[in-house]
Amino acid sequence: MLQVTRQGSQMIVDIHGMHAREARFRLDMLIDNAPEEVKEIIVIHGYSHGQVLKNMVRNELTSTRIKQIRAAYNAGQTVIELRKHRGNR
């Protein structure tokens, strides 16, 4: 189950235990619909039980709001920096 918390301009999303396909769909939707004031999303995917979720987060997300994806200091996390919404949002 996707767990989301918010701390100021950051969202923290835990995708532990999810299948990559479902996690990808939910993350793309979350990124597309994140409030304007959210500047980055920290995705907690883990690292000790395989690389499937980490690789999906770092290589397969397609939202146009993604400015940059980078490794966090914690090997089990990835940071997604967001662009501002386009249009009238």
| Sequential pLDDT tens for the chain (89 residues) | 789 999 999 999 999 889 999 999 999 999 999 999 999 999 999 987 779 999 999 999 989 999 999 999 999 999 999 998 765 44
The domain locations on the chain are 3-74
pTM confidence score: 0.90
> What's 5-59 look like in SS3?
EEECCEEEEECCCCCHHHHHHHHHHHHHHCCCCCCEEEEECCCCCCCHHHHHHHH
